[in-house]
Amino acid sequence: MKFFRISALIERDMRKFLRSPALMMSSMIFPLVQLVVLGYAFGGKIVGASVGVVDEDHSVESRRIREMFNGIAEGPRTFHVIDYDSISRALDDLRAGGIHAVIDIPHDFSLRFYHRDRPRIAFTEDNTDQFISSSLLERVQQMVDDLNAPNVEPRLQNKVELNVVEIYPYIEYIKYLLAGSIAMAIFIVAMIGGGITFIDDKARGLHEGYLVTPIHKTELVMGLIGAGAVKGLMAGMVLTIVGGLIAGIPRLWDPVRLFYLSIVVLVASVAMISFMFLVMVRVDDPLVPRAIFGVLNTLLFFPSGAVYPVEAFPPWLRWISIIDPFTYTVHALRNLTIKNTGIDGIYVDVLVLLGFSVIMIGASIALFKRQL
């Protein structure tokens, strides 16, 4: 194997890549837009939901509950309150999508309260939107807990208390998503360089020009993967910096962390480009990589834990995440961008990605056809 032939192929691709700003931009703009839009769309707390309140009791106690609702509407503003005269009208509006939940204070609420007979209020929710319904339920539950708290605390308490210690400052969702966006930028470069451009060049006959030279198929595969990896490193690091600034990652310019980030981005680039190369190694039709782009994107990006924790997945989806190079890329990048763990938090991921790359490259070389 001669390194000068590998470097010639890398040089060829780099010259083309640097000459084509459209290609560079397309590999970075989509992940950046995704980072900003999804980061802010998914990261916020629920504000301004509509809750209908039906007070059938009209008592001092029910008024106290109403005041607590008004307090939430004025304070955290999770929801605003709409008063209803009848429960049936409120439920009709709930079914029609006009409001998100209904609180019913029944006519015997105060009676049961004074008789200490488990007074109840009803919370009817539109559970088609899990995010809003769980936020409303959490808020209402909190309010009920406050109602149940004794007016005078006993002098001696024997309750177990949970003291929560958060070891990192509050992490906005955009920071959580950044690792996935960097991985996405690498994936797009791999898809364009290892998939679309590779097949297009093959279809245009450009490969024949290389196959008549003394280049060995190992050199050809290594050269094409090497070129893709360098492009992936460039795109990934640009996204790390720009995305890191947008997401507000603290101490972004820490040189040690940037060094570790560049290692993860480089290894992830090799893994993804070699995976893409293996998928495309026997493909001749230029439509194929374009057709499977969306499928591969969905199959690799979402099971990786980039947008949602892997721990929430069903077993079959966890299996995909285990063999998905995105998973280890996202895990290592997240450890560095959010936790700044250093080498301890990334070395397993880096080793897995390297092992994955070796298998992909070996299989690609074995399957690559040196002859037409």
Binding-site ranges for another protein (CB under 8 A): 2, 4-5, 7-9, 11-12, 15-16, 19-20, 204-215, 371-372
Contact yes or no for 248/171 (Cβ under 8 A): no
Nearer Cβ to another protein, position 19 or 118?
Answer: 19
Cα dist from 194 to 132, 207, 309, 327, whole Å: 42, 14, 29, 20
Least gap, CB of 27 to another protein (angstroms): 16
Closest Cα partner for 72 from 112, 108, 101?
101
Least gap, CB of 25 to another protein (angstroms): 16
Nearer Cβ to another protein, position 44 or 209?
Answer: 209
Nearer Cβ to another protein, position 14 or 82?
Answer: 14
Give the list of residues 6+ apart from residue 91 with CB closer than 8 angstroms, or none.
Answer: 102, 124
The helix-helix angle for 217-247 and 173-190 (nearest 10°) equals: 160
Nearer Cβ to another protein, position 115 or 369?
Answer: 369
Least gap, CB of 251 to another protein (angstroms): 40
Nearer Cβ to another protein, position 163 or 371?
Answer: 371
Residue that has been written with the tokens 């919370």 in this structure: 123
Least gap, CB of 47 to another protein (angstroms): 50
* Cα Rg, the chain, nearest whole Å: 28
Cα–Cα distance, 361 to 273 (Å, whole number): 9
Cα–Cα distance, 171 to 251 (Å, whole number): 15
Closest Cα partner for 180 from 328, 291, 315?
328
Give the list of residues 6+ apart from residue 215 with CB closer than 8 angstroms, or none.
Answer: 5, 223
Nearer Cβ to another protein, position 20 or 298?
Answer: 20
Closest Cα partner for 51 from 116, 107, 123?
123
Least gap, CB of 201 to another protein (angstroms): 8
Least gap, CB of 227 to another protein (angstroms): 12
Least gap, CB of 9 to another protein (angstroms): 8
Give the list of residues 6+ apart from residue 87 with CB closer than 8 angstroms, or none.
Answer: 54, 56, 102, 104
Contact yes or no for 110/62 (Cβ under 8 A): yes
Nearer Cβ to another protein, position 19 or 45?
Answer: 19
Cα–Cα distance, 301 to 292 (Å, whole number): 14
Nearer Cβ to another protein, position 204 or 339?
Answer: 204
Cα–Cα distance, 190 to 292 (Å, whole number): 13
Least gap, CB of 172 to another protein (angstroms): 41
